[in-house]
Amino acid sequence: MPAPHNARLTLDPTAPSAPVDPRIFGAFVEHLGRCVYTGVYEPGHPTADTDGLRTDVLDLIRELGPTMLRYPGGNFVSGYDWEDGVGPKDERPRRLDLAWRTVETNQFGLGEFIRLCRATGTEPMMALNLGTRGVAEAIALAEYCNIPGGTARSELRRAHGDAEPYGIGLWCLGNELDGPWQIGNKTAEEYGRLADQTARALKMIDPGLELVACGSSGRSMPTFGQWEATVLEHAYESVEFISAHAYYEETDGDVDSFLASAADMESFIAGAVATADAVGARLKSRKRINISFDEWNVWYMGRWHAEGVHEEPWQVAPRQLEDVYSVTDAVVAGSLLITLLRNAERVTAACLAQLVNVIAPIMTEPGGPAWRQTIFHPFAEASRYGRGRVLTVNVDSPEHDTAKHGTVALLHATAVACEDGSTSVFAVNRDTARPLTLTVDLRAGGPHGAVTCSTLADPDRHARNTMAEPDRVTPQSNKDVRVEAGRVEVTLPPLSWNTIRIAAA
Ligand code: AHR
């Protein structure tokens, strides 16, 4: 093994810190491929409950620890009529889903989604169709969901078997409407007006609703910045969030750039925050718009385009976007989580896209088992140990150059002061060949208890989990931890994700 690099992380528990909003550990369930059908929902499966939900998948979702689920899309939502997915199942229509070129059976809809949220203890984040539909349908959906009774649509929900309102507090005003691929895509002017009108109508139902306007569907969109500014000029006072979406993949064997993807996410967040704040300043508003990073992940989109899925026949729940993730992908996913945490002051909602089978941490086989992908582990650890206040950290690390993202630190890290008095350090070593000796300076934090480290790494950076070998890659206890005089020293293997836990004294 080549000689290690050295890096230092100084934690300052006395410096101002931002609370971590639990909503940054959200995930995403779209009617896409097998995310819903044979993913979370498979009535004939041996583990299915009376709602048709796979309890083996529910167990894994609880272990993963998402706090919130965004639904029903994604691109799917822009052609979706929510009314198709409620009421007696045998009366629900089969429809073409133009977004993913499939047949939607509507056997899973709104009520089933709410049961999924309740079974997993997650908050629903409901996306509205502002592609083919508009203000009237958004009002109707909110009435169906949130009004206890006594009106036509709330009584309809009750007649469908749900006496209790769903109490959905967080709503997405459409999806990626800047994208030419989006059904009913719009100019920023058109969308900004529609988002504002829809938001104001929804808030007439309940002023306490929290609303997300669509930002750019990617930082590389030519309209990035201008789109956000124009949309917010219209909707600043009627929404709480502007969204951001980002997917990363390794291209041309350029692993160093891939491992530095978080630098792009960081610039995306900074740009969206600056744009929102500039609009707020121009409008002389006291309000602050936060970022909902409601789609992020590794996605081998290049491979998907090359597969020519749009030439497939119309099918129900075909295998789509079933990326099998490697150790490298997990380290990148972990570094994106670190970036979300580092920006906790302004990123107060986020969703790993997606949850099951479709670019997902959990995989299933129809009629068969469910298992954890490599990216499951950083998310589960961050969600479990990343609740509290994100600390100001001083990172002193060697750097290297990357083709896509310039010069980046080899150590990418953050720390969270947890609610139980413990501290978590999440750290990625981006070097593919050399270990990194990390010194965490704890002196400002006073006495502490035991220190442990969990590490995800593998001599084969392409190692994956599969149905045949579901636990090929799992986090291991890192024994290379030394504690002395207010300092913790840990050796981080090359290309690794690490969770260091420092117990309270
Ligand atoms: O998550 C897959 C797709 O990526 C979503 O449907 C869309 O919003 C984005 O382009």
pLDDT digit string (tens) for 1-42? Answer: 789 999 999 988 787 789 999 999 999 999 999 999 999 999
Spacing, Cα 32 to ligand 1 middle (Å): 9
Q: Kindly state the average pLDDT of the residues 283-308.
A: 92
Same domain as 427, residue 307: no
For atom 4 of ligand 1, the residue with the nearest CA is 74
Examine the domain organization and report whether 101 and 234 are in the same domain.
yes
Any atom of ligand 1 within 6 Å of the Cβ of 52: no
Q: Which of 69, 78, 175, 300 to mutate to test the pocket of ligand 1 (most atoms within 8 A of CB)?
A: 175
Residue 354: CB within 6 Å of ligand 1? yes
Same domain (yes/no): 354, 440 = no
pLDDT in the model for residue 38: 98
- Nearest-atom number in ligand 1 for the CA of 321 is 2
Q: Which two tokens stand for residue 402?
A: 């990357």
Determine the pLDDT at residue 447: 75
Task: Assess whether 185 and 328 both reside in one domain.
Answer: yes
Looking at 176, 228, 266, 381, which residue is catalytic? 176
Indicate whether 148 and 279 sit together in one domain: yes
Task: Please state the domain count of the chain.
Answer: 2
pLDDT for res 442: 82
Q: How far is the CA of 483 from the centre of ligand 1 (A)?
A: 45
For 138-167, what is the mean pLDDT?
A: 98
Q: Which residues contact 147 (CB under 8 A, 6 or more apart)?
A: 153, 154, 165, 205
Mutate to test the pocket of ligand 1, among 101, 177, 182, 247 (most ligand atoms within 8 A of CB): 247
Q: In this structure, are 350 and 495 located in the same domain?
A: no
**Is residue 311 annotated as part of the catalytic site, yes or no?**
no
For position 116, what pLDDT does the model report? 98
Q: Which long-range contacts (CB under 8 A, 24 or more apart) does 15-19 make?
A: 15/391, 15/392, 16/392, 17/389, 17/390, 17/391, 17/392, 17/417, 18/344, 18/345, 18/389, 18/390, 19/344, 19/388, 19/389, 19/390
Last residue of a domain, one of 354, 385, 416: 385
Q: Is the CB of 105 under 6 A from ligand 1?
A: no
Q: Which of 323, 358, 385 is the last residue of a domain?
A: 385
pLDDT tens for 233-242 read 999 999 999 9
CA of 295 to the centre of ligand 1 (A): 7
pLDDT for position 88: 98
Q: Is 294 in the pocket of ligand 1 (CB under 6 A)?
A: no
| Sequence-ordered list of residues with C-beta below 8 angstroms from that of 95, at least 6 positions apart, any chain | 81, 84, 103, 104, 106
Together in a domain, 409 and 469: yes
pLDDT score at 291:
98
What is the span of the domain harbouring residue 397?
Answer: 5-13+391-502
What was the pLDDT predicted at 16? Answer: 72
Same domain flag for 324 and 397: no
Average pLDDT, the chain: 96
Confidence of residue 303 (pLDDT cuts 50, 70, 90): confident
Our measurement of the distance from residue 422's CA atom to the centroid of its chain's CA atoms, rounded to an integer in Å, reads: 25
| Predicted local distance difference test score (pLDDT) of residue 21 | 98
The closest alpha carbon to 385, from 499, 285, 276, belongs to 499
User: Of all atoms in ligand 1, which is nearest to the CA of residue 175?
Assistant: 8
* CATH number of the CATH domain containing 378: 3.20.20.80
From ligand 1's centre to the CA of 475, what distance in Å?
29
Residues 403 and 283 in one domain: no
Is the shortest distance between the CB of 353 and ligand 1 below 6 Å?
A: yes
- At 310 the pLDDT is 65
Testing ligand 1's pocket by substitution, the residue of 185, 245, 299 carrying the most ligand atoms inside 8 A of its CB is: 245
Classify residue 400 by burial, with Cβ atoms within 10 Å: 0-12, 13-18, 19+: middle
* Same domain flag for 368 and 439: no
Query: Please, which pLDDT band fits residue 212 given cuts at 50, 70 and 90?
Result: very high
Q: Which CATH number covers residue 435?
A: 2.60.40.1180
175 lines ligand 1 (CB under 6 A): yes
For residue 295, indicate whether it is catalytic: yes
Q: Ligand 1 within 6 A of 320 CB?
A: no
Q: Are residues 473 and 361 in the same domain?
A: no
Please give the average per-residue pLDDT across 246-250, as a whole number. 98
Q: Residue 315: pLDDT above 70?
A: yes
Ligand 1 centroid from CA 185, angstroms: 14
Work out the burial of residue 281: count CB atoms within 10 Å of its CB; fewer than 13 is exposed, 13-18 middle, 19 or more buried.
exposed
Distances 2 to 19, 431, 453 between C-alpha atoms, Å: 39, 11, 22
Buried b (16+ CB within 10 A) or exposed e, 372-388: bbbbbbbbbbbbbbbbb
Residues 340 and 403 in one domain: no
Domain stops at, among 350, 385, 420: 385
Task: Average the pLDDT over 163-192 and give the result.
Answer: 98
Residue 306's pLDDT band, with cuts at 50, 70 and 90, is confident
Mean pLDDT of 403-430: 96
Ligand 1 atom closest to the CA of 176, numbered from 1: 8
**DSSP at 99:** T
